[in-house]
């Protein structure tokens, strides 16, 4: 099964929220969420979180998954267990960025986020 792109690769210069995504058959499953950071300026940080919703309207008060703050390009994965929250049908990516250098007050990141079922790479390799 191919990974699901939750946020296509893009360049962002401010905080933002990606589009909502219907989990479909991935509802209630254990997912691997992968954040890829492809471009960055020094002395800045990126905080990415995943929010869940049952109806696509109400997103709750806390994210269902959060990456630790990131400062470097790389590929980072975390697990998201949706079994305890079977009502979550939609997810979306939210990000916050900050910059602490005086040279350029505006941060900039190139990044993407995708999700895949845990074990899907192993299953595909065995089959």
Task: Name the residue range of residue 19's domain.
Answer: 4-122
- Give, in degrees to the nearest 5, the angle at Cα 89 between 49 and 27: 95
Q: What is the CATH number of the domain that holds 69?
A: 2.60.120
User: Does residue 42 fall inside a structural domain?
Assistant: yes
Q: How many domains does the chain have?
A: 1
C-alpha distances out from residue 73 to 11, 27, 51, 70, Å: 13, 30, 23, 8
Is residue 17's pLDDT more than 60? Answer: yes
Is residue 108's pLDDT more than 80? Answer: yes
What pTM was computed for the model?
0.87
User: Does residue 127 fall inside a structural domain?
Assistant: no
User: Does residue 11 fall inside a structural domain?
Assistant: yes
In the chain, pLDDT over 90 holds for what percent of residues? 75
Question: Residue 120's pLDDT is what?
Answer: 59
In the chain, pLDDT over 70 holds for what percent of residues? 88
User: Does residue 79 fall inside a structural domain?
Assistant: yes
**Averaged pLDDT for residues 51-70:** 95
User: Does residue 33 fall inside a structural domain?
Assistant: yes
């Amino acid at each position: 099964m191919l990974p699901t792109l939750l946020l296509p690769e893009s360049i962002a210069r401010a905080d933002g929220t990606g589009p909502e995504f219907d989990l479909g058959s991935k509802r209630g499953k254990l997912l691997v969420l992968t954040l890829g950071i492809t471009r960055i300026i020094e002395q800045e940080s990126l905080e990415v979180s995943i929010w869940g919703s049952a109806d696509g309207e109400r997103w709750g008060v806390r994210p269902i998954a959060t990456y630790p703050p990131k400062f470097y390009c790389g590929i980072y994965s975390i697990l998201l267990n949706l079994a305890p929250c079977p009502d979550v049908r939609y997810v979306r990516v939210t990000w916050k960025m900050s910059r602490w250098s005086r040279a350029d007050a505006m941060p900039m990141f190139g990044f993407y986020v995708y999700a895949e079922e845990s074990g899907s790479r192993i299953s595909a390799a065995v089959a």
